Amino acid sequence: MKLFYDFHIHSCLSPCGDDDNTPNNIVNMALIKGLNVIALSDHNTGKNCPAAMAAGKKNGLVVLPAMELTTSEDIHILCLFEKYEDLAKLENHIQNTRLKIKNKPEVFGHQRILDENDEQIGEEEHLLIVSSGISVEEVAALVKGFGGIPVPAHIDKQANGIVGILGSFDYNLGFELIECTVDSGVKLPQITDSDAHYLWDISEAEHFIEAESCSAHGVFAALKRMCRQGE
């Protein structure tokens, strides 16, 4: 079955994400746009994923747990998962490698952690948009080791894109899927996402994947199949 997707959306936990990007608002906007599946991908954290997944479950939208990891070279890697437990293990692993700089909400924005009713249950104290200690050489194997799919994010963008930073795409780094809005020339299967920081930027029902079922398991299996196609 065809499932319309947007696998790259930021919530109000990303300092650069709008405060209106709450788990329920994101889920409802995705449904208005006609999407079947989204992934919530905040910078270097997955702490709003449980709320978004619960909101999705209540409203009939598949929500994959994800994060947008920043490598030590400042390259953004979208890390997609089927299960939150696996994403949480990755977060645990990178947590101690991140620079510890206190967030200044008045400068960078709030980093709110919400529950499934959009009630605030915490605020991340340290700035999330900093590099982790994970290098681009090790990131693909690391994410795969935790059961995730590593996807170089927005590779057509100069800022924080793998090609812009390294100068060219290196096929030996272990990536099997890329994220791009245009034909990048990179010979790997591609997904196209919004990288929405505001509700209205969430994708229209435009890009789809073929999955066997409309579930996290079905979508993740379809993404894995796309990865293997590139081999």
Residues that bind Zn ion (CB under 5 A): 68, 76, 153, 160, 195
Indicate the residue among 130 and 221 with the shorter CB distance to Zn ion. 130
Instruction: State the minimum distance, in angstroms, from the CB of residue 69 to Zn ion.
Output: 10
Of 18 and 68, nearer to Zn ion (C-beta) is: 68
Contacts of 92 (CB under 8 A, 6+ apart): none
**Nearest alpha-carbon partner for 151 in 3, 7, 4:** 7
Position with the least CB separation from Zn ion: 76
CB of 196 to Zn ion, least distance (A): 8
Closest CB to Zn ion among 36 and 160? 160
Question: How many whole angstroms from its chain centre is CA 65?
Answer: 8
CB 52, min distance to Zn ion, A: 15
Which one, 33 or 43, has the nearer CB to Zn ion?
43
Is the separation of the CB atoms in 75 and 161 below 8 Å? yes
Sequence-separated (6 or more) residues with CB below 8 Å from residue 15: 43, 103, 105, 108, 109, 110, 111, 127, 128, 129
Interstrand relation of 149-152 and 76-80 (parallel, antiparallel or unpaired): antiparallel
- Taking the complex as a whole, the smallest distance from the CB of residue 158 to Zn ion amounts, in Å, to 12
Return the closest-CA partner of residue 226 out of 192, 196, 194. 192
Residue whose CB is less far from Zn ion, 68 or 116: 68
CB atoms within 10 A of CB 191: 22
In angstroms, give the least distance from the CB of 110 to Zn ion.
17
